[in-house]
Amino acid sequence: NAGVTQTPKFRVLKTGQSMTLLCAQDMNHEYMYWYRQDPGMGLRLIHYSVGEGTTAKGEVPDGYNVSRLKKQNFLLGLESAAPSQTSVYFCASSYQGHQPQHFGDGTRLSIL
Amino acid sequence: GQQVMQIPQYQHVQEGEDFTTYCNSSTTLSNIQWYKQRPGGHPVFLIQLVKSGEVKKQKRLTFQFGEAKKNSSLHITATQTTDVGTYFCAGQTGGFKTIFGAGTRLFVKA
């Protein structure tokens, strides 16, 4: 019973490099979300998706892109990483928009 | 834009003491959710409140949603070391964007 799985768990990048974070859920949830968590700032919504093939911007979308080609997967891309993007990234999913969100274990990303 | 403020930022208590965290929204909410995050872990859903003035209990935890649906609180009676972690409120308006508060980190001394 995996729930929400995020890969990788840790990554160190150099400024300007690109990478993709993968989120997979096996609960047949329609909604998926990407958050970043920084000390003292809680969780901030980057992008979200209300279904396969759809994406929308959250509070802090700049510097990130997302794709939801399959219902179970939600990818977060950093095209040109910057030190300000050093953070812990959480993916979450929910059955519908007002339902509880289930979170993955997070990806700790450091950009030097 | 919509903001959700949560206080206090930190709280140190002796085991057995009570603890309360408060959440205030700049706009009326359709519902509010509470999550707990253990150190090094991920947020885990605790409860959702929908109705004005709603009060729900989970063992030693009591959750309240204000009459105006703009504030909420979580009260823990007789804290235990297992209560350690960060408690987040998360508010939703008519849409499905969820705005999280900054969280209250609870430290419990045995």
Cβ-proximal residues to A74 (8 Å cutoff; 6+ apart), any chain: A23, A25, A32, A33, A34, A49, A66, A67, A68, A91, A93
- Smallest CA–CA distance, residue A82 to chain B, in Å, is 23
Per DSSP, the residues of B6-48 read EE-SEEEEETT--EEEEEEESS--SEEEEEEE-TTS--EEEEE
- Smallest CA–CA distance, residue A97 to chain B, in Å, is 5
Q: Is A43 on the interface with B (CB under 8 A)?
A: yes
Q: Which residues in A82-111 are b (16+ Cβ under 10 Å) and which e?
A: eeebbbbbbbbbbeebbbbbbbbbbbebeb
How many beta carbons lie within 10 A of that of residue A17, not counting itself? 14
Q: Is B94 on the interface with A (CB under 8 A)?
A: no
- What average pLDDT does range B67-88 have in this prediction? 97
**Where residue A8 falls among pLDDT bands split at 50, 70, 90?**
very high
Q: Is A35 on the interface with B (CB under 8 A)?
A: yes
Q: For the segment A73-112, what is each residue's pLDDT rounded down to a tens digit?
A: 999 999 999 999 999 999 999 998 888 999 999 999 999 9
Q: Is B97 on the interface with A (CB under 8 A)?
A: yes
| Chain A residues near residue B42 by CB distance under 8 angstroms | 90, 103-106
Instruction: Find the CB nearest A42 among B42, B97, B102.
Output: B102
How many beta carbons lie within 10 A of that of residue B38, not counting itself? 13
Residue A1 pLDDT more than 70? no
Strand A19-25, strand A4-7: pairing: antiparallel
CA distance A90 to A105: 7
Which one of A37, A45, A46 makes the best mutation probe of the B interface by having the most chain B beta carbons within 10 Å? A37
CA distance B53 to B66: 5
CA distance A105 to A6: 7
Q: For the segment A26-38, what is each residue's pLDDT rounded down to a tens digit?
A: 999 999 999 999 9
- Smallest CA–CA distance, residue A100 to chain B, in Å, is 6
Residue with tokens 């964007």: B97
Q: Supply the pLDDT for residue A74.
A: 98
Q: Supply the pLDDT for residue B97.
A: 77
**Where residue B11 falls among pLDDT bands split at 50, 70, 90?**
very high
Side chain identity, residue B26: S
